[in-house]
């Protein structure tokens, strides 16, 4: 738990399955740097099967970033900034649930905060079930216990549904 005055750590999941996903995620990570008081920690990139998406959806490239939000930032204000970044990268209002998109940014966790509002649920309500979130999250915080859960990310990963398409992509891509 952070000491008083120390910024919390927030985890953001990134996904892309339109355009040039590696380039889009690399550029999005740069935008996240501007939202953090310290360097953003970045996972490897992971290709994954689209989950709950329309038939024929392209595979996703996923990653997770850990950042320390700026003073005065709230989970809600960070979410609004993430949605602004999505729009900047070409995200349009949804026509179909879980349709293909150039960039998807989800706030997975904000320290030990829990929220349950129409606009924001923390921790993300399905993160603990999604291998494409847990694999990159485990690189950054294997011992993290998401608020409201009893198992660490490492343990959640052991019981997550399999994804035969899940594979790590160039681990150094985002560090260049």
Whether 123 is in a domain gets the answer: yes
CA angle 85, 10, 21 (to 5 degrees): 40
Residue range of the domain that includes 54: 10-175
**pLDDT reported for residue 163:** 82
Whether 141 is in a domain gets the answer: yes
At 45, is the secondary structure helix, strand, or coil?
A: strand
Q: What is the CATH number of the domain that holds 94?
A: 3.30.70.560
Whether 5 is in a domain gets the answer: no
Which one is catalytic: 91, 115, 155, 163?
91
Whether 1 is in a domain gets the answer: no
Whether 164 is in a domain gets the answer: yes
**pLDDT reported for residue 52:** 75
Which one is catalytic: 68, 81, 106, 131?
106
**pLDDT reported for residue 92:** 72
Give me the phi and psi of 105, to 5 degrees please: -120, 120
Question: Mean of the pLDDT values across residues 40-48?
Answer: 93
Q: What CA–CA distance (Å, rounded) separates 158 from 156? A: 5
Whether 39 is in a domain gets the answer: yes
Whether 119 is in a domain gets the answer: yes
Q: What CA–CA distance (Å, rounded) separates 157 from 138? A: 8
Which one is catalytic: 26, 42, 68, 101?
101
Question: Mean of the pLDDT values across residues 114-122?
Answer: 93
**pLDDT reported for residue 98:** 62
Q: Give 60-117 pLDDT, tens digit per residue.
A: 899 999 999 999 999 999 999 999 999 999 877 666 666 667 899 999 999 999 999 9
For the chain, the domain total comes to 1
Annotated catalytic, 106? Answer: yes
């Amino acid at each position: 738990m952070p000491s008083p005055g120390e910024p919390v750590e927030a985890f953001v999941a990134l996904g892309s399955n339109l355009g040039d996903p590696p380039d889009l995620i690399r550029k999005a990570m740069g935008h996240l740097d501007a939202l953090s008081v310290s360097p953003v920690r970045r996972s490897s990139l992971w290709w994954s099967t689209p989950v709950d998406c329309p038939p024929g959806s392209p595979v996703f490239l996923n990653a997770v970033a850990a950042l320390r939000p700026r003073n005065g930032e709230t989970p809600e204000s960070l979410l609004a900034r993430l949605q602004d970044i999505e729009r900047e990268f070409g995200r349009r209002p949804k026509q179909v649930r879980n349709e293909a998109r150039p960039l998807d940014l989800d706030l997975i966790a904000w320290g030990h905060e829990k929220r349950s509002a129409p606009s924001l649920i923390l921790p993300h309500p399905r993160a603990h079930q999604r291998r494409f979130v847990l694999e990159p999250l485990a690189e950054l915080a294997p011992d993290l216990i998401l608020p409201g859960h009893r198992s660490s990310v490492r343990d959640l990963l052991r019981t997550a549904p399999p994804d035969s398409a899940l594979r790590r992509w160039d681990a150094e891509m985002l560090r260049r």
